[in-house]
Structure 1
Amino acid sequence: MRRAIELAALGLGSTSPNPVVGCVILDASGERVGEGYHQRAGGPHAEVHALRAAGEQARGGTALVTLEPCNHTGRTGPCVQALIDAGITRVVYAVGDPNPTATGGAGRLRDAGVEVASGLLEDEAAAGNTAWLTSVRTSRPYVTWKYAATLDGRIAAADRTSRWITSAGSRADVHRLRAEADAVVVGSGTARTDDPHLAVRGIDGATQPLRVVVDTNATAVRPGARVLDDAARTLVAVAADLGPDATAHLPAVLRVKRAATGLDIPALLAALYDDGVRSVLLEGGPTLAGAFVAAGAVDRIVGYLAPVLLGAGPAALTDAGITTITEALRLDVTETVRIGPDLRVTAVPLPTAPVTPASKEH
């Protein structure tokens, strides 16, 4: 199963809106005879790749799969039927499928006389598929907020210069994050200041993510902007009430209702979800990041901290709706990694404790 989890990770960034899945086939004597992973949406699932590799040796064998085999026909047939037809007699999966259109695979396998077990390395497999699992359960994309800052939390100097705070190694690692995401999102401030490209570079075979610029009034992305080239698909998210003349210079727009300031973040994420996006890498500046945090729409934070001090300049996060220490968003640090001179810190928000009503005095 641990090998199946490793295989599943190879599909990150290229399977959306499907999950990443890995599969290992053992023959009747317990020897590994086939393995595979879901490589792209619309293509064969992990079980089919592994069964093809195993051939007749799969008959009487065991399939170990990171996710409960699917029980529906979409662009491909149900994996449960492929396992039954191949003569598999035992299936072990790590995580149950929460997707209501695909679940039920375990029951169908049992009805066909296949022994089924679940929960093996469930936490590890779920962690590898956390973006998809979150999106299924919440009907919005899983959001990773990435930022680079000095050790004192500045993303630029007082004169707004910022290239380069972190090392080349950290910047290369960001491209790995982009390659694993379905969409990369920035705001109008970043579009004006940096004219970012947002495409993946330096990773062979990477699927380019959708590039999204949140440009409420359609004034930041101008003709000739790097994000409008043909390296990847681009959407410019604008206010739904803008007239057609205001967006005539943009090749593709996503209209989203306004909030008190900027665009409504839940509505933006819902629109991206409807477009097939299941994971978002938020690379926007402090204002857009603050809007996402205030909306409760950040699932993971990846901060690249450089051993540099500036003492002044913009902070990594502003206007997050936090006004007092008791409202602070507390985090669980899940990983710290040295990348050259820098430190990459990964954290997730801690669950919010329920508010206990004050007891009445009698």
Structure 2
Amino acid sequence: MAVSGAERSAMRRALELAARGPVGVNPQVGAVLLAPDGTTLAEGWHRGAGTAHAEVDALSHLSPGAARGATAIVTLEPCNHTGRTGPCAVALIEAGVSRVVYALDDPVAVSHGGADRLRAAGVGVETGVEAEAALALIGPWVTAAQLGRPHVTVKWAQSLDGRAAADDGTSQWITGPEARADVHRRRSEADAIVVGTGTVLADDPALTARGPHGPFAAQPVPVVIGARDVREDAAIRRHPRHPLFFPTHDVAAVLEDLHARGIQRVFVEGGPTLASAFVAAGLADEVLAYIAPVLLGGGRLALTDVGVPTIAAARRLAVTAVERLGDDLLVIATPQRTDGAEDFVPARDHRFSTQTRGA
């Protein structure tokens, strides 16, 4: 059965509702219940761990039997397990819903299978509606659920000829104020901001997310990777969130630890060495390259060794957006995938050296 215009419109509304929910270890999910004539019966969204899931929240606004024959529009496959709440697939079946349309499959093994359960009960199921928009909303949660680690965004700023700094090491500022403001906004959307000890020792960054009127209310946890000591009076130690220090060069181990702490969105902006380590290890889910229309020359490259010995081994990206920020450009890209597999595969190991500036 084809998806109707009313159902697509309801899915877009469900995504708006989902965005009202908190970002955390549980996904943001929205739901809309449609009557057979396409009018809206009820709406709901997930308000956080331990609260009703979006489908049950929507059903709670109806009297018993009022959802019989209705269509449930949900941004994520209805769950099929009992945790703090019961299975949403069962709740929809018991409510008499005749059709379910959802955007994304649930990637979690323990809760996946709601669609099969619905079909077995005679409920019509349609999947993949507005999937790209849904993934844009909860992509980091999907990454964490599938891979058992946070979603990683690697950011750098560079000249037009690919340099992160002039030959004397100066780099402030390659890009203009609009690009820097965009970086701060994106910092505020992350759970953690990651740098290496080289950056902390060389630049003494505060690692806060700041807007035109001062610090954002949401601040990422500052994370420092590397074996060198950080001074007691370093600006990072005055961060409003308690900084985490990892005296290691194993970036995969750091991500494992951060995932265990409930961190799902990591923003890496620690300089060429650290950025290259994440790329080489196959741990960059998204790349943000801020490109300034300046030429620097010299050897201070924005990336160093990423494990590409020959052109055939190039780490190819798919550009998802190009934005103009004042005089600068922001290129947003993700690893190309072939037959469902990532092109970003580990090169050698997940370790990096902090012996050069920007690590």
Q: What's the TM-score once normalised by structure 1's chain length?
A: 0.78
**1:280 is aligned to 2:288:** no
Tell me the CA shift for residue 10 of structure 1: 5.2
Give the counterpart letter for 2:289 in structure 1.
Answer: G
Q: Tell me, what secondary structure is at the counterpart of 2:75?
A: strand
* CA displacement at 1:296 relative to structure 2: 1.4
| Root mean square deviation, CA, Å | 3.0
* 1:2 equivalent in alignment to 2:12: yes
Q: CA deviation at 1:285?
A: 0.6
Distance 1:303 1:161 in 2: 19
CA contact (8 A) 2:209 2:215 kept: no
1:148 aligns with 2:134: no
Instruction: Determine if contact 1:160/1:313 at 8 Å carries over to the other structure.
Output: no
CA shift for structure 1 position 308 = 2.2
Secondary structure of the 2:253 match is: helix
| CA gap 1:144/1:97 in 2 versus in 1, 3 angstroms | same
* Percent of residue pairs bearing the same amino acid type: 52
Structure 2 counterpart of 1:70: 79
Q: Residue 223 of structure 2 aligns with which residue?
A: 212
Q: 2:327 aligns with which of 336, 341, 345?
A: 341
User: Structure 1 residue 320 and structure 2 residue 328: aligned?
Assistant: no
Question: 1:306 offset after TM fit, Å?
Answer: 1.7
Describe the shift of the 1:213–1:51 C-alpha distance in structure 2 as closer, same or farther (beyond 3 A): farther
Give the deviation of 1:315 after TM superposition: 1.6
Q: CA deviation at 1:33?
A: 4.3
Change (3 A) 1:142 1:27: same
Q: Alpha-carbon deviation of 1:264?
A: 1.9
- For 1:110-125, what aligned pairs fall within 5 Å after superposition? 110=119, 114-125=123-134
**Structure 1: gaps spanning 5 or more residues:** 240-262, 355-362
- 1:289–1:182 Cα change, 3 Å: same
Judging changes above 3 Å, is the alpha-carbon distance between structure 1 residues 91 and 302 closer, same or farther for their aligned structure 2 residues?
same
User: Is the contact made by 2:188 and 2:216 (CA closer than 8 Å) also made in structure 1?
Assistant: no
Within the candidate set 152, 160, 166, 2:175 is matched to: 166
Change (3 A) 1:207 1:108: farther
Count, aligned residues = 326
Q: Normalization by structure 2: what TM-score?
A: 0.79
Task: Report the residue type matching 2:221 in the other structure.
Answer: L
Looking at structure 2, the residues matched to 288 and 92 of structure 1 have their Cα atoms a distance apart, in angstroms, of: 42
**Hey, what's the Cα distance between the residues in 2 that align with 1:85 and 1:105?**
14
**CA contact 1:24–1:63 (8 Å) conserved in 2:** yes
Cα distance in 2 for partners of 1:275, 1:168 equals 33
What letter corresponds to residue 23 of structure 1 in structure 2? A
Deviations 1:247-266 (A, max 9, x none): xxxxxxxxxxxxxxxx1222
Code of the aligned partner of 1:176: R
State the distance in 1 between where 2:203 and 2:56 align.
44
Instruction: Output aligned runs, 1:303-314, within 5 Å.
Output: 303-312=289-298, 314=300
Cα distance in structure 2, aligned partners of 1:48 and 1:172: 40
